[in-house]
Amino acid sequence: MIQQIALVTGASSGIGRATAELLARNGYYVFAIARRLHRLEEIRSDQIEPIQLDVTDGEAIRMAVDHVISTKGKIDILVNNAGFGQLGTIECVPMEAAHRQFEVNVFGYARFMQAVLPHMRARKSGCIVNMTSAMGKMTTPGFGWYSASKHAIEALTDAVRGEVMNQGIDVVLIAPGLIRTEFVPRQLELLDTIAHPTVYHEILNGLRHLLSNEPQSPGPAIIAQAVLRAVTSSNPPVRRALPLDSKMAVAARWLFGARLFAWAVRQRMKLKF
Ligand code: NDP
């Protein structure tokens, strides 16, 4: 059987790493992509080849894709997953930090799609999986910039799906709920770097409270399994939300409507207004 070739971004930890390892165990040759090379080297094998790059660097992405094509001749799967969460209020997150959020979470995905699509189109075959979030369809106070980046990804993904569906290419959204990775600790570290006046402290405490369930949440393996199921399916889902908290949050948003949902969120965050 001809070996399938996959690119997985954000493969140095969490969901990306679990996905890279699972795809490799299932026979894929995986290019594992991130900035921290020493973390990628931990998973190097005869099925996993690390590529060190920052997804904000378009030239590095072009060179990486050229390398994949010159050594393997094709790209079957792209898992766009590298990302981070810029928490903080809309007023206080500096514009540079907001731009960085979009450069990584949105334009990073777009750069990879633009780089791989010509190769997938040439072979009339391929599958792109874009990692979104429950926050791709809803938001809460303090999650604005991150949610906006994931809403943007959902729109771009729905658009590109329609653009390439007649060219043998599938495009899938996976929307995780809270998953135990390095994501939440890094989000909270980043939040601590944003100066907020005291009037916002109740919201910041509410955010910390929302995220305090993270140690009890599932590990990244369930999301990796969802990616594997999507890329091996002859009829992949358009959007797969999991685990249950991600499904429920989006359902509640549409069922309750904006005002009631916002009230329910304030209750969950223990806000007194
Ligand atoms: P982790 O923090 O564990 O992993 C994030 C990965 O992204 C790391 O490998 C990191 O590698 C990489 N990354 C971040 N910035 C860049 C960059 N500029 N260039 C290249 N790589 C980068 O988080 P998760 O595994 O949880 O997150 C993966 C995806 O899942 C993200 O898109 C996130 O939004 C989404 N998600 C996560 C949820 C969760 O609860 N964990 C919930 C919903 C969605 P390095 O630092 O080495 O570059």
The share of the chain scoring above pLDDT 90, in percent, equals 98
pLDDT attached to residue 214:
87
Could you tell me which of 20, 77, 18 has the C-alpha nearest to residue 50?
20
For residues 144 and 98, what is the distance between their CA atoms, to the nearest angstrom? Answer: 10
Domain boundaries, the chain: 5-268
The second-level CATH assignment, the architecture, of 5-268 is 3-Layer(aba) Sandwich (3.40)
pLDDT, tens digit, 9 for 90 and up, residues 127-167: 999 999 999 999 999 999 999 999 999 999 999 999 999 99
Pocket mutation for ligand 1, best pick of 17, 19, 31, 35 (most atoms within 8 Å of C-beta): 35
Question: Residue 234: what pLDDT?
Answer: 95
pLDDT of 100 = 98
Annotated active-site residue in 28, 29, 109, 146: 146
Query: Ligand 1: which of 84, 102, 107, 150 to mutate, judged by most atoms within 8 Å of the beta carbon?
Result: 84
Closest approach atom of ligand 1 to CA 131: 32
Q: What is the mean pLDDT of residues 48-69?
A: 98
Is the pLDDT reported for residue 189 higher than 90? yes
Task: Specify whether 28 is catalytic.
Answer: no
Output the CA torsion sign for 43, 44, 47, 51.
Answer: positive
Does the beta carbon of 50 sit less than 6 angstroms from any atom of ligand 1? no
209-259 pLDDT tens trace: 999 988 899 999 999 999 999 999 999 999 999 999 999 999 999 999 999
179 in ligand 1 pocket by Cβ < 6 Å? Answer: yes
Q: pLDDT confidence of 36, banded at 50, 70, 90?
A: very high
Question: 12 CB less than 6 Å from ligand 1?
Answer: yes
